[in-house]
Structure 1
Amino acid sequence: MDDASSEDRLGVDLARAQNQLVRELRARRVQLNLSAGEVAARMGVDPSFVSRFEQGGTNATFATIRRYAKAVDAMVTYGVCSYQEHKTKVIAERADAVFRQPREEPENLMAQVKKPATRTVLVRGFSARVFPETPVST
């Protein structure tokens, strides 16, 4: 996205902000130990709607966000700033996060390197191939 226009980047960042809001609402539901079905009942919708909402499968309206927030007893606030102000804030937050992380001692780092792998990674590949048409015999 190096050659993307500022407008394109703004659109991506707006979508990220919306996705982050939905993730935070879902985290609130989990914190309250509510099932998606319980939230759906509180909202008066089908449980599949809540599932799609939480997975980003819907283009949520403000009304939907308010109903979900009410169902999980959450307050959602909105703020408006210029895109440049937003970028400056995000960069500052990322820098703060980097400097807040505790530094590890060299021996702890070596212990982590020597540990056996505990994760399995599945990689799927796809190669596009063109197959010649086979004549159908009748």
Structure 2
Amino acid sequence: MDQPTFVYDGDCAFCTSSAEFAKRWVPTPARIVPWQFAELDALGLTAEQCAEAVQWVDPATRVTAAGPDAIAELLRSSRPWWQVAGAVLRVPPVRALAWPAYRWVARNRHRMPGGTAACAVPPRDAQV
């Protein structure tokens, strides 16, 4: 499995809608797959990591990333316009703002368009 993989929460309607948008509009060589159907051991991921944030794993470059860093990597694997957006997301001041924004969205994804109660992130101490 040398192909990069972007892993998201398939139980979340908002996450699934976002992943479907990426599949349709962000041409990438990466597989975009819900963590519930991914080979987590082969990717070196845990269910806990995947429930907490989207993940990027690229075995060819040995790059792994989570949250907005994973989104940046997905964008950077695409065409020039998306590559610029991914590069901007990695600029330190933007990245510093992206993480709190990502965490806010993750905590409130059940309230986002397309989100459902199933999208709510379990508390950190809950078992996955």
TM-score in terms of structure 2 length: 0.25
Q: Which has the larger radius of gyration?
A: 1
Bigger RCO (CA 8 Å, 6+ sep): 2
